Amino acid sequence: MLAALYTVTPTSSAVAATGYKFDFGNGAVQSGYMGVRAEDAYSAARGYGFNTPASMRNVSASGSGVGSDAVQFVTYGTKSTNTFNVDLPNGLYNVKVMLGNTSRSSVAAEGVYQIINMTGNNAVDEFQIPVTDGQLNLLVTEGKAGAAFTLSALEITQLSSNPTTHPTIYIGGDSTVANYYPLDSSVQGGWGQMLQQYVSPSNFLVRNLASGGQIARGFRNDGQMEAILKYIKPGDLFIVQLGINDTNPKNTTTEAEFKEYMRDMVRQAKAKGAIAVLSTPQGRATDFNSAGVHNAQGRWYRAATVALASEENVPLIDLNVISSTYFTSIGPAATLQLYMEGDSLHPNRAGAIQLARLVSEELKRQGLTP
């Protein structure tokens, strides 16, 4: 259950409020929240509601409190008009979402992704977003075809009247980088999920848009890069680590093609005044030779990433080599303990924490973060 921040009474004066707490579905309304049913259409007098309620459904959920019911977005997509709309004074807001029952869903607002692939019933996550047109437009959308895209609760808190995002590290990547849920206790982990532990939020917030199975072409073309480019600004960092899935023959991406997709994303981020940073993926847990030395430099199109960093004059985090040095220092058995059981590719939570530590140390060494 989401903790109560404050109580908002559903009157017309709430339109000008700087915070809302919504409990979705047709069940009992949790104390301190405003109840919103699927049939509640947006009205200017109320200041919130669904843009197209005919495309919404009330559904049950398996949690307790606000997580016991939800609404389902029957039509969806980042550009869909089937949104939940909230009138807000312009400014910077923190948005906390709790899903209903779903296997994998993403959250979009203002026409772009905000959170990628939340998994599990009543998953919780949050993001910061600038509001510049007096209204937040949000929906839960596709993370996996065939899933139910549901929303149980929403908390919106104004952080500032200035709609400028804090300095941010945006991350692109694949399953070794992505978020896993629950965020604070997941068995599997991605280093992007853990990076904020090593970066003070007073210096940089971390926005991780990595997703499992992703390739460079997909990250560029299917909405994740679009979301980053909407918000990224001078002084922000864009770290992109791809290549593992690009090398899979089913994705039909040559190393030369991979390099050009990556080059295009680097140049787009630089054109926004941000600092683009290339990272190479770590190797497999089993990449040890008979002398106990870990080496994975031949994996994942690493040579293309290293060459591109030099050609575009951008920083390189050669996590492939850095992690091999660390794995060699702790040995094969301890390295295997940092990966999912029976899996030599995907880090578990402890492994993701160590990889995030290595990334943060390299960022600091290169003067990219305080």
Phi, psi angles (nearest 5°) of residue 48: -160, 165
Provide the mean pLDDT of the chain. Answer: 94
Alpha carbon distance 169, 216 (integer Å): 19
Token duo for residue 205: 């917030």
Active site residue 222: no
Q: 139, 144, 142, 98: which is closest to 121 by C-alpha?
A: 98
- List the catalytic residue out of 40, 152, 246, 346: 346
pLDDT score, position 16? 41
**Domain boundary assignment for the chain:** 12-160, 168-365
pLDDT score, position 7? 33
Mean pLDDT of 274-291: 98
Alpha carbon distance 338, 315 (integer Å): 27
pLDDT score, position 17? 53
Count of CB atoms situated within 10 Å of the CB of 52: 15
CATH number of 168-365: 3.40.50.1110
Mean pLDDT of 84-90: 97
Token duo for residue 276: 């683009």
- What is the residue whose two structure tokens read 């047109």? 133
- List the catalytic residue out of 175, 211, 323, 360: 175
Mean pLDDT of 337-344: 98
pLDDT score, position 370? 84
Active site residue 346: yes
The yes-or-no verdict on residue 61 having pLDDT over 50 is yes
pLDDT 10s digits, 237-254:
999 999 999 999 999 999
Active site residue 323: no
pLDDT score, position 146? 86
Ranges 15-19, 52-56, 212-216: which has the least confidence:
15-19
For domain 12-160, is the CATH number 2.60.120.650? no
Contact criterion met (CB below 8 Å) for 319 and 359: yes
The yes-or-no verdict on residue 3 having pLDDT over 50 is no
The yes-or-no verdict on residue 4 having pLDDT over 50 is no
What pTM, to 2 d.p., does this model score? 0.94
pLDDT 10s digits, 176-220:
999 999 999 999 999 999 999 999 999 999 999 999 999 999 999
The yes-or-no verdict on residue 10 having pLDDT over 50 is no
- Looking at the chain, the number of H-run helices and the number of E-run strands are 8, 18
